[in-house]
């Protein structure tokens, strides 16, 4: 996955660090550059995207293993995994292939091997991930950190800077 096309970039951090907040700031900035973005988010919880009482919910609850809901504006595919299994990133990337994104952003899946930006806030008193994760290529923090030379230091509160890093590191090599 390190040299995949489309490129894949993850955001790894402990809960409460601001992964989703940063991504909601980065996505419009990257989209302004004409990129079609795919996003994969890992959830540790059971979730429903359809609501009790709605037809899609009732059909899934009745036993349909996969329900595809489509309208003129969007499509959602709900797949039940039996037996229950931890999702693998490669399977989720395959599920996005038909959309032909220019870049896939990933929130979570921090135990899998692919390029990641670590988000770190020292005030949360959590350890840095990069010493144990060789796939981290940059650390975005709200405080200056002493990092090894191979890691890029980014400001977690400067989404423009992080977007520029992503464009330079992942999209410019594709244009060459």
Q: Where are the domains of the chain?
A: 8-42+87-175, 47-86
pLDDT of amino acid 130: 96
**Residue found by looking up tokens 């890093």 in the block:** 165
pLDDT of amino acid 163: 98
Kindly report the backbone phi and psi dihedral angles of residue 77, in degrees, each rounded to the nearest multiple of 5, phi listed first.
Answer: -115, 125
DSSP state of 161: H
CATH class of segment(s) 8-42+87-175: alpha beta
- In whole angstroms, how far apart are CA 20 and each of 13, 24, 28, 164, 168? 11, 6, 13, 18, 22
121 vs 143: CA distance, rounded Å: 7
- Contact predicate 13/109, CB 8 Å: no
How far out from the chain centre does Cα 146 lie? 26
> pLDDT per position in the chain (176 positions), as tens?
445 679 999 999 999 999 999 999 999 999 999 999 999 988 766 666 777 888 878 888 888 888 888 888 888 887 877 887 788 898 888 888 888 999 999 998 888 999 999 999 999 999 999 999 999 999 999 999 999 999 999 999 999 999 999 999 999 866 55
Q: Cα–Cα–Cα angle for 138, 118, 158, nearest 5°?
A: 75
pLDDT of amino acid 77: 81
DSSP state of 94: H
- In whole angstroms, how far apart are CA 74 and each of 40, 54, 71? 17, 17, 5
Q: Cα–Cα–Cα angle for 14, 146, 107, nearest 5°?
A: 25
The token pair at 55 is 């037809």
The token pair at 152 is 């890029």
pLDDT of amino acid 174: 63
Strands 66-70 vs 75-79: parallel, antiparallel or unpaired: antiparallel
pLDDT of amino acid 22: 97
The token pair at 141 is 């923090």
pLDDT of amino acid 129: 96
């Amino acid at each position: 996955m390190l040299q995949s096309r489309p490129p894949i970039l993850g955001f790894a951090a402990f809960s409460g660090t601001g992964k989703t907040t940063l991504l909601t700031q980065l996505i419009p900035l990257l989209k302004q550059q004409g990129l079609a973005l795919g996003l994969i988010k890992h959830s540790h919880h059971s979730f429903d995207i359809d609501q009790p009482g709605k037809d899609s919910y009732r059909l899934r609850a009745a036993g349909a293993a996969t329900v595809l809901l489509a309208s003129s504006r969007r499509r959602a595919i709900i797949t039940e995994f039996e037996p229950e299994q931890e999702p693998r990133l490669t399977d989720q990337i395959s599920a996005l292939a038909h959309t032909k994104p220019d870049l896939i952003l990933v929130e979570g899946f921090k135990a899998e091997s692919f390029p990641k930006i670590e988000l770190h806030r020292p005030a949360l008193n959590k350890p840095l991930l990069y010493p144990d994760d060789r796939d981290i290529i940059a650390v975005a923090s709200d405080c200056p950190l002493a990092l090894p030379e191979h890691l890029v230091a980014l400001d977690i509160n400067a989404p423009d800077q992080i977007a520029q890093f992503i464009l330079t590191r992942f999209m410019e090599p594709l244009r060459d």
